[in-house]
Amino acid sequence: VLEGGSIESDGAGSILTNTQCLLEKNRNPHLNQNGIENMLKKELGAKQVLWYSYGYLKGDDTDSHTDTLARFLDKNTIVYSACEDENDEHYTALKKMQEELKTFKKLDGTPYKLIPLEIPKAIYDENQQRLPATYVNFLLCNNALIVPTYNDPNDALILETLKQHTPLEVIGIDCNTLIKQHGSLHCVTMQLY
């Protein structure tokens, strides 16, 4: 079982994914990590699979799809959900994920450029359950990077940060309605790139 948001490709032979998702026993109980990795390499032509084990967003119902946690902005750059608020429940897991991402290398042996995107302030549904709001759930299309925003004080800073790291037009789209369905832009689209 493999949904689109559970893997990312840098377009240069590397796939990024999360063990919490693909190794979840309800998804692929007949496969271990090596079996899944071999299948990804065979079916998608990948040369390497970069697995990380930490990171989650409260309210996520996908077993930690990578499209909410860590994504390739381009073949050299990974953007990822970050949390600097030590009082936020995501702080420890996202810091551990950051440390894992720092160890990842491209096929040529050089490290990826890492860009942290601070998660927005907590957003809750009508039952006071936290929703998995993240800026990483962006959509790449037609020379544009369409980024979810949440009427958060950090929205403008996130958009400006991304503009500094991509030649693409960066467009923010209010996703306060979408996030109520526990996903955002990348989650609601069928990506073919």
Residue 167: which domain range?
Answer: 4-181
CATH of the domain at 157: 3.75.10.10
Is 99 domain-assigned?
A: yes
Is 70 domain-assigned?
A: yes
- Indicate which residue of 21, 83, 175, 187 is catalytic: 187
Phi/psi zone of residue 167: left (φ > 0), alpha (ψ -120 to 50 degrees), beta?
alpha
Quote the CA–CA distance of 79 and 18 in Å, as a whole number.
15
Token code pair at residue 165: 């790291």
Q: Provide the pLDDT confidence category of residue 191 given band limits of 50, 70 and 90.
A: low
Mean pLDDT along residues 116-143: 94
pLDDT tens for each residue of 81-122: 999 999 999 999 999 999 999 999 999 999 999 999 999 999
| Mean pLDDT for all residues in the chain | 92
Is 171 domain-assigned?
A: yes
Q: How many CB atoms lie within 10 A of CB 137?
A: 27
Cβ neighbors of 166 (< 8 A, separation 6 or more) are 73, 74, 145
Token code pair at residue 176: 């306060």
Is 177 domain-assigned?
A: yes
Is 98 domain-assigned?
A: yes
Length of the chain measured in residues? 193
Question: Hey, what amino acid is at 79?
Answer: V
Is 188 domain-assigned?
A: no
Antiparallel, parallel or unpaired: β 70-74 and 48-52: unpaired
pLDDT tens for each residue of 63-79: 778 888 999 999 999 99
pLDDT at 193: 44
Is 50 domain-assigned?
A: yes
Q: How many domains does the chain have?
A: 1
Is 190 domain-assigned?
A: no
Q: Is position 187 annotated as part of the catalytic site?
A: yes
